[in-house]
Homo-oligomer: A and B are copies of this chain.
Amino acid sequence: MRFAFTDDQLLFRDTVGELFAKECAPEAVRWSWNDVTGRNPELWAALAEMGVTGLTVPEAHGGMGMNEVDLLPILTEAGRYAFPGPIVETIAVAAPMLAESAPAAIAERWLPGIADGSVIATVALTGQPFVTDAHIADVLLAQRDDRIFAVPAENLRLTPQTSVDGARRLFVAEWDEADAELIASGDEGLRCADRAFNRGAAATAAVLIGLSEQMIATTVAYVSERKQFGVPIGSFQAVKHHLADAELKVSFSRPSVWNAAYSIAHNVPDVDRDVSMAKCFASDAAEVASRKALQCHGAIGYTTEHDLHFWLKRSWALAAAWGDAAWHRRRVAHLLLDQG
């Protein structure tokens, strides 16, 4: 029993974190809101260079063949910096879908490109009407009933939607089956979709942990400086308890996210339950952290001139994406209560 990361895993995470710190400062997020594509290909290339985009790609396809336990701490760093881009979709979801379920030719068509950064993939499972980053994707992995397809980008008809998070780019994507490659169908298709959903939910939970940690850190810094009534507002017990509440939520969500990573990587029997618990807790924690962060910032946090809103809005969007807390709590309830 060892519920901890290896030194290598932590080093990898920290190295990627340093890249984000340098290349994905708040000004970069602000740029993403205002730019037409909102995506920085050089930063994606740098991630590829480090091996991040190929982290989950099998070695046979030019990747590192690692798993969720290696990946999720890196996604938490992506959350900490509110990184704009399809890191969850391409690396956490699409690559393993292709590696696990796609016929060899299809896998070979896309996976080496994911590994070297030249291919960006995004995902649309049943129940996900809005596809992220379809405007820069090379391929969409999409579910239609019990069938999973790879749809090359040139065959997609996109309608842009507008998210409250200006750095998130959402689309409705239409396509014809004739223009798509079948990856899996029947029970295998559903299994592929289930595993993809679990991966997306757990990966998003990891991002939410990073967002939450950063909102708490930013707020701690602000309330330690900001003075009212002659003292830092962080010395008021009400402010202390707001932030302690947020820290409590995040502290007891984090282990459940690492456990979900392990359960997916090792395909343990309770993987659905573990993933849903992780997403439920991480979504709830992000809601609490974002609420407390805004309240403790006061009016300054309520402007777009301040950076806080990038984290708030990403938190709202991701808390709801891949199933919100209520949806996942219901799945856990079903698994616990409706049998035996």
A238 vs B238: C-alpha distance when bound (angstroms): 6
Query: Which residues on the B side are within 8 Å of A238 (C-beta)?
Result: 237-238, 241
- Interface: A236 (CB within 8 A): yes
Q: Which of A94-124 contact B (CB under 8 A)?
A: none
Query: Which residues on the B side are within 8 Å of A237 (C-beta)?
Result: 236-238
Query: Which residues on the B side are within 8 Å of A241 (C-beta)?
Result: 238, 241
A237 vs B241: C-alpha distance when bound (angstroms): 10
**A52–chain B nearest beta-carbon distance, Å:** 44
Q: Which of A224-247 contact B (CB under 8 A)?
A: 236-238, 241
Who on chain B is nearest to A241 by CB? Answer: B238
Query: Which residues on the B side are within 8 Å of A236 (C-beta)?
Result: 237
A236 vs B238: C-alpha distance when bound (angstroms): 9
A282 vs B238: C-alpha distance when bound (angstroms): 26
Interface size class of A (residues with CB under 8 A): under 10
**A232–chain B nearest beta-carbon distance, Å:** 14
A236 vs B240: C-alpha distance when bound (angstroms): 12
A241 vs B236: C-alpha distance when bound (angstroms): 12
A328 vs B236: C-alpha distance when bound (angstroms): 38
Who on chain B is nearest to A237 by CB? Answer: B237
**A330–chain B nearest beta-carbon distance, Å:** 17
Who on chain B is nearest to A238 by CB? Answer: B237
**A223–chain B nearest beta-carbon distance, Å:** 14
**A248–chain B nearest beta-carbon distance, Å:** 15
Who on chain B is nearest to A236 by CB? Answer: B237
A236 vs B237: C-alpha distance when bound (angstroms): 8
Q: Which of A110-158 contact B (CB under 8 A)?
A: none
**A245–chain B nearest beta-carbon distance, Å:** 12
**A292–chain B nearest beta-carbon distance, Å:** 14
From A236, A237, A241, residue with most partner B Cβ within 10 Å: A237
Who on chain B is nearest to A239 by CB? Answer: B237
Q: Which of A203-259 contact B (CB under 8 A)?
A: 236-238, 241
A275 vs B241: C-alpha distance when bound (angstroms): 36
**A236–chain B nearest beta-carbon distance, Å:** 6
A236 vs B236: C-alpha distance when bound (angstroms): 10
A179 vs B236: C-alpha distance when bound (angstroms): 67
Q: Which of A298-331 contact B (CB under 8 A)?
A: none
**A99–chain B nearest beta-carbon distance, Å:** 46
A237 vs B231: C-alpha distance when bound (angstroms): 15
A241 vs B237: C-alpha distance when bound (angstroms): 10
The 6 closest A-B pairs by CB, nearest first: A237-B237, A237-B238, A238-B241, A236-B237, A238-B238, A241-B241
Interface residues of chain A, those whose CB is within 8 Å of chain B, are 236-238, 241
- Offer 6 A-B interface pairs, CB within 8 angstroms, sorted by A: A236-B237, A237-B237, A237-B238, A238-B238, A238-B241, A241-B241
